[in-house]
Every structure is written in C-alpha cells, then in structure tokens.
C-alpha cells in the first residue's frame, strides 16, 4: 500500500480491474469528482477500481497528466493530444467513456461523448447494434415501416464497420 | 458506492476499532475485510457493481442511460431518425421530450447544426418552387420535400425559430395558402388553421416564440397584420 507522502506531494494508488497498481500524485486525481470526494471525505490512500480495465486507466491517467499541464501557451498542443486521445477503436473509446462517466471527469466526458457521436453518426443501424451489443426487438415489418416513414435517413453511403 | 459510504459514516469509532482488530486477524486476506485501517488511513474494499455494467439485451452493453443520452443528443437529426429503429429502448429515448430539449441545447451551441432554409423559385414555363437546406459551414445543400406533396405549388417561408418554421403552401390557380408548422429536419409538419383575420390584400408578419415557462415549451404563434390599402 503506497500511502506515503513525499515532501508536500501526496501519493495515491489506483488499482485497475486486473489488479495492476498505478501510483500517482493525489493532485492529479482531484480532476475526478468521484476520486476527489473519496480522497477528501474518506482520506483514502488506495482506491480499487475493479470495473475499469488497466488499459483504460492508463489512458485516463495519461489525460489527467496532460490536462494538469495545460496552460494558455500549450493550448494547441493539448488540442492535438485530445484528438489523438480519442483516435482509438470504438470499443476502447466506449470503455473510456464509461469509465470517465463513472469517475466524473466532466470536461473529458463531454469530449468523449462528442467523439463517439462523431464516429457513429454515419453508421448503419446494424453497425450501431453491433457496437452497442443491442439485439433488435422490432419485427422486420416494424423496421421496414421506419424505413418508409423517413427514407432520407437511410439513404446514402452508410458505414457498416464497427470500429 | 453511496451505500458503502453511509455504512462507514455510521460506524462508531469503537466499531471501527473492532474491525481494525479483526483486520489484524485476517492479515493477508484483505479482500474479505469490509473496512480497515492501514497506517492510519482507510483502504476501500473493492466494490462490485459500482459501474452500471449490467447487460440488458434491450439496453445493450455496460452503457448507462445517461451516457447513451449524452452521446445521442450530439447526433444530427438524420442519424437519430435512423437510430430510432435500433431498438424499442432507443426509440423511446429519442422520442422523449427531455431528450429533444437536450438535443436542441446541443444543436444551438454547435455550429455544424446551424442550417439555412432556402425557398427557391424557378421562373419559366412551368415555374416551380423548392425548399433547400444548406449547412452554414460546409458545402452541403439538400433538397427538401415540401410538407404537402402537391404539384404546381407556391411555397413561402414566413418565419423560423429554433429549427421550426411556418411555411405557406399554395395552389397556383387559387392563390390560397395552407399554413404549416414545419420541422425541416424531421420533415414533420402540422397544418395550422387558416387565420380568420388574414387580409386578402396586404402584408402579414409572422413570429414564433416560446412561453416564459420553458419547461412546457409551448409554442406561441404571433401574427401581426398590416393591411395595405
């Protein structure tokens, strides 16, 4: 358990779903409303996050570090970093979005949701079902009714890929 | 997470001490301990179901309704009309008035969502009117079907507000207008009653606005007539 303090900087351990530990400065995790409350109210030193994959946690910590370094002079650089940050396969982006929602990192959540929206807006219905793992509960007749009602929504080149 | 927090808060210091004692008995089996003190600080026990990871075939994977709403409310109307047929749950979500309001708020702040509605009139032997919708940022012009599908019509846009517009669809021969409250994005329209006071000759100014109570979001139609002699 890393509950030590080095100088003035408090150290906190985050434990990912696969028990991998991440030791980082407490000030970084304060960007997450959830962790901030845990740290402030409960005075915890180690926080298990079993539902977040370590891979996802690595990405989020990477963001927290970059965001903490954000100054008016490196705004452009941060924007480029943000673009790269969401440039992952959709499944991973959804994992990140879910984790960010859980951790309550508000600015990043909005950015992730917008990124998901941008990625799925031209997808076909079948692709969206696969991405969100949804089984249709409509009958084929009901589905063809939708297509008849708003044909313009189904026209054009729709993307069938799921990544 | 909240339940655990309350549990911890309700425990008196004596109880906490007892737990700490127990904790010493179970060294090396930390996972079984509800709450314990290590080096003066509390270590949270891993919680199950802290994230909404339940799989529901209708709702899909681990995504909570809040996230789905957050993502979908950022989509263009065309995508939403398509995604209504993903599942019954998505259809209910997209048709919900709260969702529509959230979508409108996003659209207002998003430059990509701002569109220009154009009515074009071709002069010629068979003169015709058409509606077009154009993006303000990129070159993307779409022809729109008019609310009432009749040939040889006169189309007029009277006013627009928050993505809705009042259009007049008229017959070339009689010059009588039918008035529609039209949503060009969803192609939905409602025929409005022809105002009794509408002057045969003269100008008419139209306006659309909301009641002060925004939650009800009732649209008010303001008509102002100026009769020209």
Each residue's pLDDT tens digit, B165-212 = 888 887 766 667 788 888 888 878 888 887 666 656 666 777 777 665
Q: Is residue B101 included in any domain, yes or no?
A: no
Residue A135 and residue A113 share a domain: no
Q: Nearest C-alpha of chain A: how many angstroms from B142?
A: 10
Q: What would the pLDDT profile of B49-103 be if each residue is shown by its tens digit?
A: 444 344 444 434 457 888 999 999 999 888 999 999 999 999 999 999 889 888 9
Q: Which of B10, B74, B95 to mutate to test the interface with A (most CBs of A within 10 A)?
A: B74
Q: Is residue B171 part of a domain?
A: yes
pLDDT at B62: 54
Q: Is the same domain home to A97 and A138?
A: no
Domain containing A149: what range? 125-154
Q: Which domain range does residue B157 map to?
A: 114-222
- Chain B hits for A1, CB-CB cut-off 8 Å, are 38-39, 43
Q: Is residue B193 part of a domain?
A: yes
Q: Assess if residue B60 is contained within a domain.
A: no
Q: Would you call B5 and A42 a contact, using CB atoms and an 8 Å cutoff?
A: yes
A76, A32: one domain? yes
Say whether both A85 and A70 belong to one domain. Answer: yes
Q: A57-98, pLDDT tens digit by residue?
A: 999 999 999 999 999 999 999 999 999 999 999 999 999 999
Closest CA to B13 of B35, B46, B31: B35
In a domain, residue A161? The reply is no
Q: Is residue A65 part of a domain?
A: yes
- Max Cα distance, chain A (Å): 68
| Interatomic CA distance for residues B207 and A55, integer angstroms | 54
Determine whether the interchain pair A44/B64 forms a contact, defined as Cβ–Cβ distance below 8 Å. Answer: no
* pLDDT tens digits, B35-50: 333 333 344 444 444 4
CA distance B6 to chain A (A): 11
Give contacts of A153 with chain B, Cβ < 8 Å: 78-79, 81-82
Do the Cβ atoms of B8 and A42 come within 8 Å? yes
Pair (A71, A147) in one structural domain: no
Indicate whether A39 and A59 sit together in one domain.
yes
In this structure, is residue A16 part of a structural domain? yes
Quick one: pLDDT at residue B190?
Answer: 84
Average pLDDT of every residue of chain B: 67
In a shared domain, residues A47 and A81: yes
Does A108 map to a domain? Answer: yes
Distance from the Cα of A135 to chain B's closest Cα (Å) equals 6
Same-domain pairing of A65 and A140: no
Q: What's the pLDDT score for residue B141?
A: 80
For chain B, how many structural domains are there in total? 1
Q: What is the pTM of this model?
A: 0.70
Q: Worst-scoring range by mean pLDDT, A1-10, B74-83, B127-136, B215-224? A: B215-224
Q: Higher pLDDT residue, A5 or A53?
A: A53
Residue B118 lies in a domain: yes
User: HEC states along chain A?
Assistant: CCCCEECCEEEEEEECCCCCEEEEEHHHHCCCHHHHHHHHHHCEEEEECCCCCHHHHHHHHHHHHHHHCCCHHHHHHHHHHHHHHCCCCHHHHHHHHHHHHHHCCHHHHHHHHHHHHHHHCCECHHHHHHHCCCCCCCCHHHHHHHHHHCHHHCCCCCECCCC
Instruction: Collect all residues of chain B within an 8 Å Cβ-Cβ radius of residue A47.
Output: 44
**Total CB pairs under 8 A between chain A and B:** 134
Beta strand spans in chain B (E): 36-38, 41-43, 115-122, 128-135, 141-144, 153-161, 164-171, 177-183, 188-192, 203-210, 219-226
Tally of domains in chain A: 2
Tokens of A3: 């509950």
Are residues A113 and A55 both part of a single domain?
yes
Q: Which residue has the tokens 């207002």?
A: B108
The stretch A106-129 carries a mean pLDDT of 94
B106, pLDDT greater than 70: yes
Q: Is A74 inside any structural domain?
A: yes
Does the pLDDT at position B8 exceed 50?
A: no
């Amino acid at each position: 358990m890393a509950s030590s303090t080095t100088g003035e900087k408090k150290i906190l351990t985050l434990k990912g779903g696969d028990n991998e530990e991440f030791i980082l400065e407490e000030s970084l995790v304060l960007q997450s409303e959830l962790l901030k409350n845990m740290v402030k109210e409960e005075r915890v030193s180690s926080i298990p996050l079993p539902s977040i994959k370590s891979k996802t946690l690595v990405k989020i910590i990477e963001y927290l570090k970059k965001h903490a370094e954000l100054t008016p002079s490196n705004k452009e650089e941060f924007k480029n970093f943000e673009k790269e940050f969401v440039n992952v396969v959709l499944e991973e982006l959804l994992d990140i979005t879910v984790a960010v929602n859980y951790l309550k990192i508000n600015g990043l959540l909005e950015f992730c949701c917008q990124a998901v929206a941008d990625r799925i807006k031209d997808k076909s219905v079948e692709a969206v079902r696969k991405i969100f793992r949804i089984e249709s509960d409509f009958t084929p007749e009901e589905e063809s009714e939708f297509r008849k009602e708003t044909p313009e929504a189904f026209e054009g080149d729709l993307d069938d890929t799921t990544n | 997470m909240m339940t655990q927090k309350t549990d911890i808060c309700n425990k008196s210091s004596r109880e906490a001490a007892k737990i700490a004692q127990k904790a010493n008995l179970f060294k090396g089996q930390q996972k079984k301990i509800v709450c314990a003190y290590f080096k003066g600080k509390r270590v949270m026990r891993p919680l199950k179901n802290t994230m909404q990871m339940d799989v529901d075939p209708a709702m899909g994977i681990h995504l909570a309704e809040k996230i789905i709403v957050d993502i979908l409310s950022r989509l263009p109307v065309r995508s939403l009309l398509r995604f209504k047929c993903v599942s019954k749950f998505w259809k209910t979500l997209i048709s919900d008035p709260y969702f529509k309001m959230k979508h409108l708020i996003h659209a207002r702040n998003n430059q990509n969502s701002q569109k220009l509605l154009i009515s074009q009139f071709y002069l010629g032997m068979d003169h015709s009117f058409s509606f077009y919708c154009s993006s303000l940022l990129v070159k993307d012009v779409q022809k729109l079907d008019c609310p009432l599908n009749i040939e040889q019509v006169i189309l007029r846009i009277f006013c627009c507000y928050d993505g809705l517009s009042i259009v007049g669809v008229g017959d070339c021969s009689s010059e009588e207008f039918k008035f529609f409250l039209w949503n060009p994005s969803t192609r939905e329209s409602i025929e409005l009653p022809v105002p009794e006071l509408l002057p045969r000759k003269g100008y008419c100014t139209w306006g659309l606005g909301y009641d002060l109570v925004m939650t009800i979001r009732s649209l008010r139609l303001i008509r102002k007539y100026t009769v020209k002699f």
